[in-house]
Amino acid sequence: MIRPAVQFIVVLALMGSARAFAPTNAPGSVGVALGFGFLVLAAIQAGNVFAAVGLPRLTGYLLTGLFCGPDVLDYVTARMVASLDLVNGAAVGLIALSAGSEINIARLKPRLRGILLVSGVAIPLAILLTSGLCLALSSRLPFLAPMVTSHRITAAITLGVVFASLSPAVGLAILSETGSAGPLSEMVLGVVVLADIAIIVLFALVHGVAASVFGATGGDLNPVAQVFIEIFGSIAVGALIAVGLAQFIKRVGSQVSLVVVAFCLVSAVVGSRLHLDVLIICLTAGLLLENVLGVPGEVVHREIAPATLPIFAVFFALAGAKLHLHDLATLWPYALAIFACRALALGVGARIGTRLAKSEPEVQKWLSLGLIPQAGVSVGLAQLVASHFPAWGGSARALILAVITLNELLGPVLLRTALVRAGEAGKREAKGGEH
């Protein structure tokens, strides 16, 4: 622990010196390269420190971004964070590709009923309870208080959908870090992926209603039409990428990690230009590689393993840098109440769903902890609320980010605890060693 801690302090000192002596008129690309290099080195060392005391590396990545980002030390400025959006998109793509290639539909078939039941109970319950709480607090929340009742209800439901979103990125990162395999791991991955896709669809539908009520700005297409274009367009692009990757892996088979990262970068660029979802693009590609095109997920996982550590480190450090301690400090009573309400709803929903599905005792006991993490899609939806509903969206975004901060900081720890207590941590390596 002492060595990575010292290395982390040295990296901080070097970055502080570089920021102090760097010319203020330095080209933007210089600052971006500096920010990227610093996040890679600092986040990895912080992750090593956290791993040494039995905490998830991911928590170290998040805290590095949070405290070195614009809100605290400002070593990574808001301009750097914005300029690294392409890297962030590529990271989402790589995480989604890994998640898709981990899902073998034939092997997961016995758990599909449980995944559908848990998702079908937990997500609606989370939307209902968090929306109800927002409505109950509406007279105290400055952005809801001036609204008439119908507007309050619409805004509360919009917030409830955002609060109910989960995080495939965090789930996959913790499963990968802990080397977990088993019923709980499969259920966590299946539920968070299915729930995230469902939330994207639900948000588009709710957004359409809210747009008619408030008169949203920032979009030319009908939101419902836009979401169908986004989903099916993303699936089509993902299928093309899957075919290209499969041919490369089968015919060439070398430098696969570089080609995969390149494909993820292309997905991020295409997604941003055509308003498609990089998560759905790469998730589709991973699913097709594993289940249709004859490229086993183990092959994909092995080939991209060298790239995952720096990619995960930068992605979650950037996620931390986008959080705002000021919002949490100002809104913490409301954020804490919504955090607890969301956790309760997901926990009750997970328990009901797993009991109806007659899942294993370990899954029934620990799945609820695996649904707490929240990142990625939630931040994007918060930004959409802010940009499309300028009258109240900015303040709503602050509340959403305050809740996400709690879920991001506590969620990974709770998920890791669940995997360890269920006895699934380290099983992937053990299985790999048997072959």
- The answer to whether the beta carbons of residues 286 and 300 sit under 8 Å apart is yes
pLDDT value at position 23?
A: 55
Cα–Cα distance measured from residue 101 to residue 193, given in angstroms and rounded to the nearest whole number: 12
HSE-CB of 243 using CA atoms within 13 angstroms? 5
Q: Mind spelling out the 3-state secondary structure of 332-380? A: HHHHHHHHHHHHHHHHHHHHHHHHHCCCCHHHHHHHHHHCCCCCCHHHH
Main-chain dihedrals φ then ψ at residue 292, nearest 5 degrees = -125, -45
pTM above 0.85? no
Cα–Cα nearest to 165, from 208, 123, 117, 121: 123
8 A C-beta contact, residue 416 and residue 427: no
Convert the pLDDT of each residue in 217-226 to its tens digit. 555 556 566 7
Report the alpha-carbon distance of residue 277 to residue 15 in Å, rounded: 34
The residues, any chain, with a CB within 8 Å of residue 48's CB and separated by 6 or more, are 4, 57, 60
Q: What domains can be seen in the chain, in order of their start residue?
A: 2-86 (no CATH), 87-434 (1.20.1530.20)
pLDDT digits (tens, 9 = 90+) for 93-120: 888 888 788 788 888 888 899 999 999 9
| Residues with Cβ within 8 Å of residue 280, at least 6 apart in sequence | 96, 197, 200, 230, 231, 234, 235, 238
Tokens for 320, please give them.
């931390």
- Tell me if 395 sits within 8 A of 142, measured CB to CB: yes
**Whole-number Å distance between alpha carbons of 201 and 280:** 12
Ramachandran bin of 423, using left for φ above 0, alpha for ψ from -120 to 50, beta for the remaining angles = left
User: What is the arithmetic mean of pLDDT over 244-271?
Assistant: 85
Q: What angle do CA 153, 376, 129 make, to 5 degrees?
A: 30
Q: Looking at residue 269, what is its pLDDT?
A: 83
At 354, the pLDDT band (50, 70, 90 cuts) reads very high
Residue 435, pLDDT score: 38
Do the Cβ atoms of 359 and 151 come closer than 8 Å?
A: no
Q: Is the pLDDT of residue 163 over 70?
A: yes
**Residue 221 region by backbone torsions, left for phi larger than 0, else alpha for psi between -120 and 50, else beta:** beta
